[in-house]
C-alpha cells in the first residue's frame, strides 16, 4: 500500500542576512569543534609571553 505524497513547489525567499541571523541564533552557545578548542586551550597553557 502506497501513501500519497504531496510535492510542494512553493518556496520562500529569505535574504542572506536573515538566513545568517537564523543560523547564528540556532548555534548560539554551542561548541562546534570541541577537540580543536581543547587542543587550543592546552596550547595556550604552555604559552609564555615575554615583554622584550
Q: pLDDT value at position 31?
A: 87
Inter-CA distances, 14 with 10, 11, 26, Å: 13, 10, 16
In a domain, residue 20? The reply is: yes
Residue 10 lies in a domain: no
Q: What is the reported pLDDT for 51?
A: 82
pTM over 0.75: no
**Total residues found in the chain within this entry:** 52
Task: Give residue 30's domain range.
Answer: 16-45
Count of structural domains, the chain: 1
With respect to residue 39, please indicate whether it lies within any of the assigned structural domains: yes
What the block records as the C-alpha cell of 11 is 518556496
In a domain, 34, yes or no: yes
For 1-52, how does the pLDDT look when each residue is reduced to its tens digit (9 = 90+)?
A: 677 877 878 888 999 999 999 999 999 989 889 999 999 999 999 988 888 6
Give pLDDT, residue 1.
Answer: 62
The rounded distance, in Å, linking the Cα atoms of 43 and 3 is 56
Amino acid at each position: 500500500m502506497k501513501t500519497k505524497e504531496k510535492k510542494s513547489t512553493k518556496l520562500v525567499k529569505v535574504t542572506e542576512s536573515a538566513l545568517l541571523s537564523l543560523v547564528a541564533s540556532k548555534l548560539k552557545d554551542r561548541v562546534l569543534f570541541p577537540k580543536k578548542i581543547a587542543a587550543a586551550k592546552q596550547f595556550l597553557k604552555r604559552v609564555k609571553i615575554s615583554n622584550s
